[in-house]
Each structure stands twice: as structure tokens, then as C-alpha cells.
Structure 1
Amino acid sequence: MPQWRAPTKGEHRWRAVAVVVATVALQLLLPNELVIRPWWLLPAVTGLLVIALLIVNPGRVSKRSPLDRTIALCIVAVVSVANAASAVQLVDGIIGGSIADRPGSVLASAGIVYWSNIVAFSLWYWEFDRGGPGRRATGDSRFPDFLFPQMTSPEFTSRNWRPTYPDYLYLSFTNSTAFSPTDVMPLRPWAKMTMMLQSAISLVIALLVIAWAVGSLKS
């Protein structure tokens, strides 16, 4: 059995929770045109779900718990919906001109939406690779959905290495910035399609902002 498949104590959830909370806080800075109204609804729902998750399991994700996983997936869904809505409104705002005349808003909003997109997809990868952090901790899942370099070159890492949330955040970041896989390869069809969708969203945002910037310089 590969070392990365061996059962572990599980990873702490606080890193993923901290990133989610920080991202929701950033989304509060978006202009009113780019958020679902009322503006406080999705942040409030996310906050309540995070509190519920920490009450159910404040420590390590050491086993597969239906309630734990349901709450976690609800958080991922809310973050994804909020980001999708902001991305659509950003595209509409740039094309339609509702925010195009405010350079600061365009650049700041694009940065927040871009980062939120990275976080949303990192959570999907983290929650679904080999059945999620709970199943990875128990070693129940045999085949990986993503192939990390440490899996093929174990001599370059410690024996206790397992993919944790920062690894999936890095995967999401590099996929968004390179518009393609880098050192982590998707193996399952869902992983490939999800990475393709993320790259497409990032590419659209980047191209629109670049086109807006070029147009602003010419005007």
C-alpha cells in the first residue's frame, strides 16, 4: 500500500475555514452591483454554516461523518453561488458599462472575484478528491482523483505526507493562473471537467479585464 493511502489522524479543518472566512470578508467589499441582494444574506448563511460545522466537529476531520460532510458541502455551495453571481455581474458590468467607468472598482472587483473563484474550486477539489478529507483519513478510498508529485516521487517528501487543504488551494491557484494543470494531474473525468471549467472562468475574467484596460487606455 502506498504511504499516502495509509490511515491517519486526519487534518485540521481550521485552514480551510480561515480561507473561507477571509474570502467572505473580501466579498463584502464588492460593489452593490456585483452581489446577491440583500448583501448580507450569503455572508450570514456562510457564517451560520461555519459555526454549525465547528460545533459538529471543531477538531480534525478524522472520519466520514454524513452531517459533517453535508454542512461542509453546503458551505462550498454557498461560496460557489456567491462567486458565480459576482462573476456574472462583473462580466455584465464591464460589458454593459455599469462599472466600466470606475477603474478602481473594476480592478478590485476582478481581483476579489478571481480569488474567490480560486477558493471555491479549491474547496471542491478538497471535498471530492478520494471522497473528501474524512475518507482520505480512514484510507478507504483506493484510487486518487488527483496525482500529486509526492505520490510518484515519495523519496522527496516525508513518510507522513498526505494532501491537505493547502495542497488543493495551490492546485486551484496554479490552474487559475496557468489556465491548465501544472504539477498536479487530474485523473478522473470529474476532476478534468472541473479544472477545465475553472480555467475557462479564469480566462474569461482575465480577457475581459485586459480588454477593458486596453479600451480605457485608448479612450
Structure 2
Amino acid sequence: MARERDTARIRHPRHERRGEARLPAVVATLAAIGLYLALPQQLLIAPRYVLPALELLLLIAINPRRLTRQTKTFRVLSLTLVLTIAAGNLAALGLLIDQLVHAKAQDGRSLLIAALQVWLTNIIVFGLAYWELDRGGPVSRTQEPREKLPLADFRFSQDENDDAVGEVADGASKTSDWVPTLMDYLYVSVTNSTAFSPTDTMPLSTRAKLMMAIQSVAALMTSLLVIARAVSILH
């Protein structure tokens, strides 16, 4: 226990200066692409393989093993990839709702599965978006000194734990130089999609509040309207 607390300052990616590993983001992106490919044809805004092919090309173009350097082109491609996935998923949600409103959907089972796919993709893509934008993105968070980081979009609990009891304070941002990784942003996305509001991580910037609002509304519509209608069809 004492050894763990003594080494708290060297356990986090900022101190390794090797940057955050890209693999978790690649896995999350591939999962979102797979979920899109599995959607019913009537929920696709283009031929099935057009958007996934574009997303794979963008993913290959921005796929270093570790995020230690960032160019303007790299930044634009990364954000374009997230935006493309988000646009495809929100369009699928819109088409799904249209199917319900106009009584075009009769297969409740496939509708339930499609709603789950859209909901899961919603979690993934917004988690990636938060990860790409907060404090300048994953490269800035691990490579830049704190005094040079852009203003934070989110306030994590670690950002205010430095005055707590020792075993909590030793892992705080101020004490250990902790910074969030992709898993932290995916957690924020999960809680926002299930509670329809922030939980322990608060949005600070206007864009963070806007994104969380869009995600909450999309998740609410999926959970209350789509799933409720699908269950009624099954009955």
C-alpha cells in the first residue's frame, strides 16, 4: 500500500510521456463500425459499405500506436472520423423513429435489436468525441504541461480530490498529475446515456454541455420511444 502511494506520481501517462495508447480507440471505432454494418437496410442513409469504408480509411490514416505527436491534419482527420460515425448513427435514429411514427415497422424483435445497436453506438461515438476534444485531445493531455493545456471541457472527481483523505488525495489530478483516458470518457458517455444527465463528471464548456444534451436526448428517445414502441409491437 505504501509503495503504491509512493509511486502514484509516476503511474499516469503524463509522466511516462509516451502518450496514450491508440488501441482502445481503434477497438471502440471498429465496434461502432460493426454495429452500423449490422443495422437493417431501411435505417441506412447510403449503401451499406459506403460510410464504413470511409471510416476505415480515416482510421488507417490516423492510426499511430501511441499518441505522442499531433499535426493539424491528424487533428482534422480524427475529428472527421468521429463526426462521420455520429452523423451516421443520428441519421439511423431518425430513420428508426420515422419507421415507428409512420407505422412502417412491424417486426418488433428486429426493432429492439436495432434500437440497442443505435444506443450502443451513441455511447461509443460520444465517448470518442469527449476524448478527442477535452483539454485539447489525447496528445495535449499527455504531452503538454498543465499550465499550457486548453481549458477543460469536463471536471472529473479526481480534479477536486486533492483535499480529501490521503488514499483518495494521492490519486488526485493535482497530486499525481492524473489525466483522463478513453475509458474515463466512455464511462461519462455511459452514465449520460443511462441517467440522461451528468453524474459525477460535470460539463464545463458550452460545447460539452451541447454534446451531452444531444446525447441525452438521443438516448432518451431511443429508450422511451423506440423501445417502448417495439415492446408494444411484440405484444
Q: How does 1:201-212 map to 2 (within 5 A)?
A: 201-212=218-229
Residues in 2 aligned to 1:193 and 1:47: alpha-carbon distance in whole angstroms? 27
- Do structure 1's residue 116 and structure 2's residue 121 form an aligned pair? yes
C-alpha distance after superposition, 1:125-177 (max 9, x if no partner) = 11110111122122331532101111111552272632001110110110010
User: 1:192 is matched with which residue?
Assistant: 209
**Where do 5+ consecutive residues of structure 1 fail to align?**
none
- Do structure 1's residue 53 and structure 2's residue 70 form an aligned pair? no
CA spacing shift, 1:52–1:210, aligned 2, 3 Å:
closer
8 Å CA contact retained: 1:76, 1:124: yes
Residues in 2 aligned to 1:53 and 1:210: alpha-carbon distance in whole angstroms? 36
8 Å CA contact retained: 2:153, 2:208: yes
Give the drift of 1:63.
3.3
- Do structure 1's residue 170 and structure 2's residue 194 form an aligned pair? no
User: 1:136 is matched with which residue?
Assistant: 141
TM-score of the superposed pair, with normalisation by structure 2 = 0.83
C-alpha distance after superposition, 1:42-96 (max 9, x if no partner) = 0000111111112xxx122123321211111111111011101111111111222
Residues in 2 aligned to 1:65 and 1:110: alpha-carbon distance in whole angstroms? 37
Q: What is the aligned-residue identity percentage?
A: 41
Query: Aligned-residue CA RMSD in angstroms?
Result: 2.1
Classify the secondary structure of the residue corresponding to 2:62.
Answer: helix
User: 1:73 is matched with which residue?
Assistant: 79
User: 1:18 is matched with which residue?
Assistant: 27
Give the residue type in structure 2 aligned to 1:178. Answer: A
The count of aligned residue pairs is 212
CA spacing shift, 1:46–1:25, aligned 2, 3 Å:
same
Give the drift of 1:40.
0.6
Residues in 2 aligned to 1:131 and 1:52: alpha-carbon distance in whole angstroms? 20
User: 1:86 is matched with which residue?
Assistant: 92
Q: Which has the larger radius of gyration?
A: 2
**Where do 5+ consecutive residues of structure 2 fail to align?**
1-8
